[in-house]
Chain A
Amino acid sequence: MSLPKKSLLNRTAQCALVVFALFTFLGVGDDDARFRDLGHHLICACGCGQVLLECNHVGCQYSDRMRNELAAAIDRGDNDDLALQSFVQKYGPTVVAAPSTSGFGRVAWIMPFAALLAGMAGLVWLVRSWRSRPAPAIADGIQPVQGPELERYREQADKETDL
């Protein structure tokens, strides 16, 4: 027995959603991936300025300890924010490799996109001002150009088309 057309569409959409969700959540909850991700969002507190998982100083007083603390936070089931927050409390705000998305840190994230939008607006204004300029007046009874003037146009055409 065949399904009505609407039902078939619904079923197809549901299947597509399930497949999408399946792919989306593949890998979610992978502790190793979270460790790597969070480890790349933290800076080693030893002062080397390197990302925690890339600090390669032998005998570094901080990196091993911090990595262990991060692994422990993940084992405890802390979510990403909580894990990062515990590092901020212990090592200060510079331990996080990027500004926070709240408070003044938000300005850091907004400004580049604000600049892009402002630039876009400027570009639109520029194009509109160019387009609103009056076109050069064309006299009646245009005569075909010849001689040096024609040569000038030919050169211009060459320059602009390269043919």
Chain B
Amino acid sequence: MSQFSSAVLPQIGSFALLLALALGAYSFLVGVFALILGGKDSDYLGETARRAGIATFAAVLLASVVLVTAAFTDDFSVAYIFHHSNKDLPGPYKFAVLWSGQEGSLLFWSLLLATYGFVLRLRYRTDPKLFAHASVVIAAVQVFFLLILNFAAHPFAILEGSVPPDGSGLNPLLQYPEMVIHPPMLYLGYVGFTVPFAFAFGALIMKYPGEKWIHITRRWTMVTWGFLTIGIFLGAHWAYSVLGWGGYWGWDPVENASLMPWLVGTAFLHSVMMQEKRGMLKSWNMWLVFLSFWLAIWGTFLTRSGMISSVHAFAQSPIGMWFLVFIFISFIAFGVVYILNFRFLRSEHKLESMISRESSFLFNNLLFVTACFTVFWGTFFPKISEWLQGNKVTVGAPFYNNVAVPIALLLLLLTAVGPWLAWRRTSFESLKRSFKWPAAGALSIGLLMIILGVRPWNDIAYFYSLMAAMLAALVIFTVISEFVRGGQVIQRHTGFSLLGSMLHLYHRNTRRYGGYIVHYGVAIVIIGILGTPFNRDAEKEMGFGDKINIGPYTLVCQSYTQDDNPNFSNEWAIINVFKGNEQLTTMYPERRLYKASSQPQTIPRIWETWYQDLFLVKDLYIVYEGRNEDTGRPIIKAHLNPMVPWIWIGLVIMVFGTITCLVPNATPVRATVPARVQTAPAVGAGD
């Protein structure tokens, strides 16, 4: 650590944060003033507010760069660096120090918001007045985070006393490659919901005519949703790969906190189509956008207030009250503006039939919001019980499995049925005709599972698995059938090959068919999840040559070995995996002891059985748990988790679908066609 670094870096960082606060406050206050004032002169004032917003980004970026530099230069005079880094921490994790602790992650939150604001303010020419309103809303949120950073959770606080020679080190749970990606993705999702909210709030204040604001924000919302999806799944993968309990989702409060805005955001992505196409659900969409933003702030509050204990949460701190105040103020502000202006949000059309795309979206929204409420309720019920009854209860997986899973199954059913429904009305006969083959396919899958030994009447978990498999199959068959039927219509008109026609179809409406690809990915994820009731595990103290049998596999302990590096010392087990007499692979589950923090950490090893099982793939998951304190013998725990790899494949498909939704549509070629052609199958049911 150089003298310069120690003396100057924290001051530069502190100054940058103060400057950012001043600029953000200017952007907000002067922006509001300019909007209230109106007229030509206020345009100049508004322009200064816009530029101040851009400058805020530069100041927050400077503060972030300073903090990362302090981590790389081992400046332990900064308390945050001392608590979250050490000299021998590998480079990528030193970079990840930025979001590894309370203060740094708030700075990172602020940086991402400033970046979104920066892009938004650069693109203001699209609609200067609407963008000016959105810019002010973003500035308000920015000021809130900068206030916390400057006065409650300062990342550049100086360590009291003499500067220690080394830091306390990063939490071992965070020393995993995904930790360099997972939080930024999650935060991009959380923070990103501020942008559609800012536009919606701006449109509400302006009584903005038409649906243009929705067109402007559509891509922002899709991108945000995509980031949050990736963030949630990376978190699940991290939990699976690091925590060593063999699962990927534990209904932990902090996991739930990320799920809530995702559920509401997904509801919004569907219902917004009703507003675009039919001018309906305008008020509802306003509230969904607000709720997505609001729940993202709730999630941040949950993680940081210490209100609810979780493996993911930051330490308890006084900033919870700041968040509560902000949550309250934002709710009141939005509520008041809504009450003043809700009349302009009246629907332009009415529901013409219960068998229509509109009604499917209504039910879809009802289920998504109920699912969100269920998660919210389950997360807060322990606190509610404590407040009202004086005793805390646990709300864990059995509660969610019994309450949320049925809702999820209904949603899956709607995912399958929805694409067959046309806007306005669909005849029952047409629905039956379209649905016949996918339904027959799904029933066959169910029958096959029963023949293969799944007994849904023995256990509710098996029943859910069977239903999930059938409904996921229904979704997959529906999506394939939609592509094929639409492709066939194009093929008849153009003479292209079926594949070329399907590609053409996709290019004509990327959003709709991209959405179907997302549905396909969701179905694959569900297939990955439905293996859970069939998980097996075994645990044993294993000396050399000892065996564990799990499913068709035999694990034989060949040896143990040790290693050491400046960051941690570790011990590996060397486990040979056999099926019958054939050796399939060797696995090396590991246990580390991080030197700076003196904390142990297991690194499980996972082997996917693609070559053995293909579609019914399993994860062989081995954990070296450590040594029995009494006998000194190493303990190995093995899990055999069916279908889990499909979850990660499903995510890739979902991300691909989201990206394809963002591709602009190809210009449709108008052709004069005979009248009879217009009665072709309802491939054009809309988004």
Give A residues with C-beta under 8 Å from B: 20, 23-24, 26-28, 33, 37, 40-41, 43, 49-51, 53-56, 58-59, 92-100, 104-105, 108-109, 111-113, 115-116, 119-120, 123, 126-127, 130-131, 133, 158-163
Ordered nearest first, which 10 A-B pairs have the shortest CB separation?
A: A58-B626, A97-B396, A130-B350, A162-B684, A163-B684, A98-B398, A161-B684, A112-B374, A98-B399, A54-B245
How many angstroms from the CA of A119 to the CA of B372 in the assembled complex?
13
CA distance A74 to B566 in the complex (A): 49
Q: Are B458 and A27 in contact (CB under 8 A)?
A: yes
* Contact status of A119 and B369, CB under 8 A, knowing A93-B393, A162-B512: yes
Contact partners of A130 in chain B: CB under 8 A: 347, 350-351
Write the chain B residue with the least CB distance to A23.
B457
Give 24 CB contacts A-B under 8 Å: A40-B397, A51-B250, A56-B245, A56-B623, A56-B625, A58-B628, A59-B629, A93-B393, A99-B381, A99-B394, A99-B399, A108-B377, A108-B378, A108-B381, A108-B395, A109-B402, A111-B373, A116-B370, A119-B366, A123-B366, A131-B350, A131-B351, A161-B422, A162-B508
Q: Are B678 and A163 closer than 8 Å at their CB atoms?
A: yes
Q: Mark B581-617, 1 if CB is under 8 A from A, else 0.
A: 0000000000000000000001000000000000000
Please, which residues of chain B bring their CB within 8 A of the CB of A24? 457-458
**When the two chains form their complex, are residues B350 and A133 in contact, meaning their CB atoms are under 8 A apart?**
yes
Tell whether A116 pairs with B366 under 8 Å between CB atoms, given A40-B397, A49-B311, A160-B423.
yes
Chain B residues positioned under 8 Å from A116 (CB to CB): 366-367, 370, 407
User: Cβ of B362 < 8 Å from any Cβ of A?
Assistant: yes
Minimum CB–CB distance from B625 to chain A (whole Å) comes to 5
Q: With A41-B398, A49-B252, A162-B684 in contact, do A93 and B391 touch (Cβ < 8 Å)? A: yes
**Taking beta carbons and an 8 Å cutoff, which residues of B are in contact with A?**
244-247, 250, 252, 277-278, 309-311, 347, 350-351, 354, 359, 362-363, 366-367, 369-370, 373-374, 377-378, 381, 385, 388-389, 391-399, 402-404, 407, 422-424, 455, 457-459, 508-509, 512, 537, 602, 623, 625-629, 635, 637, 668, 678, 680, 683-687
Interfacial chain B residues near A123, Cβ < 8 Å: 362-363, 366
In the assembled complex, the CB of B106 is this many whole angstroms from the nearest CB of chain A, namely 25
Residues of B within 8 Å of A126, CB to CB, are 362
- Selected from B374, B385, B635, B684, the residue in CB contact (under 8 A) with A99 is B385
Residue of B nearest to A103 (CB): B389
**B508: A residues at CB distance < 8 A:** 162
B404 to A, closest residue via Cβ: A112
A113 vs B430: C-alpha distance in the bound complex, in angstroms? 32
Q: How far is the CB of B499 from chain A (nearest CB, A)?
A: 20
The residue in chain B whose Cβ has the minimal distance to the Cβ of A58 is B626
* Bound form: Cα–Cα A116–B392 in Å: 26
Specify which chain A residues have a CB less than 8 angstroms from the CB of B683 in the assembled complex: 162-163
Which among B250, B350, B370, B393 is the interface contact of A105 at CB below 8 angstroms?
B393
Q: How far is the CA of A116 from the CA of B403 in the complex (A)?
A: 11
Q: Smallest CB-CB separation from B629: which chain A residue?
A: A59
Residues of A within 8 A of B509 (CB): 162
Residues of A within 8 A of B367 (CB): 116
For the complex formed, measure the closest distance between the CB of A154 and the CB atoms of chain B, giving whole angstroms: 9
- Across the interface, do A23 and B373 meet the contact criterion of CB distance under 8 Å? no
- A56/B403 contact (C-beta < 8 A), A94-B393, A163-B683 known: no
- Give every chain A residue within 8 A of B404 (Cβ-Cβ): 112
Q: Give CA–CA (A103, B133) in the complex, Å.
A: 50
Complex contacts, B252 vs chain A, CB 8 Å: 49
* Chain B residues within an 8 Å CB radius of A26: 455, 458
Instruction: Establish whether residues B458 and A49, one from each chain, have CB atoms under 8 Å apart when the complex forms.
Output: no
Contact A120 B602 (CB under 8 A): no
Task: Report Cα–Cα, A96/B576, bound state, in Å.
Answer: 38
B607 to chain A, nearest CB (A): 19
Give bound CA distance, A24 to B602, whole Å.
41
Note all chain A residues with C-beta closer than 8 A to B407.
Answer: 112, 116
Least Cβ–Cβ distance between B214 and chain A, in angstroms: 13
Taken together as a complex, chains A and B put the C-alpha atoms of A23 and B350 apart, in Å, by: 49
Residues of A within 8 A of B684 (CB): 161-163
Evaluate contact between B377 and A112: CB separation under 8 angstroms: yes
Nearest B residue to A161 by beta-carbon distance? B684
Residue on A nearest B639 in the bound complex, by CB:
A54
Cβ distance B383 to chain A, nearest Cβ, rounded Å: 12
- Please give me the residue from chain B that is nearest to A113 by CB atom: B403
Residues of A within 8 A of B247 (CB): 54
